[in-house]
């Protein structure tokens, strides 16, 4: 992400007309600053099982069922 932001900012500065981006990391021990955290914690508690670890397919299925979203196939990684 840092490399993308750096390249984006260089391109905007060089070409003019655009918005430069400043990245700000959230502290890892401050979940109250992250607006998605309350939704994530409830979703995580709803899908987990104490007896075993879920497979990736089970996790995807349960997350989509809990949040009521459509399940899409995983994105393919692009290696540069």
pLDDT at 68: 93
Based on DSSP, count helices (H) and strands (E) in the chain, helices before strands: 3, 0
Asked if residue 78 has pLDDT above 80, the reply is no
Instruction: Domain count for the chain, please give it.
Output: 2
Is pLDDT above 70 for 80? no
CA-to-CA distance for 34 and 27, rounded, in angstroms?
9
Range of the structural domain that residue 59 is part of? 35-72
Residue 22's alpha-carbon distances to 3, 17, 43, in angstroms, are: 12, 16, 30
Domain assignment present for residue 8? The answer is yes
Name which of 26, 23, 27 is nearest 9 in CA terms. 23
Residues 40 and 16 occupy one common structural domain: no
């Amino acid at each position: 992400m840092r490399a993308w932001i750096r390249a984006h900012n260089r391109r905007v500065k060089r070409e003019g007309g655009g918005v430069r981006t400043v990245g700000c990391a959230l502290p890892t021990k401050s979940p109250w600053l992250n607006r998605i955290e309350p939704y994530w914690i409830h979703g995580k508690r709803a899908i987990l099982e104490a007896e075993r670890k879920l497979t990736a397919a089970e996790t995807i299925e349960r997350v989509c069922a809990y949040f009521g979203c459509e399940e899409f196939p995983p994105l393919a990684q692009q290696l540069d």
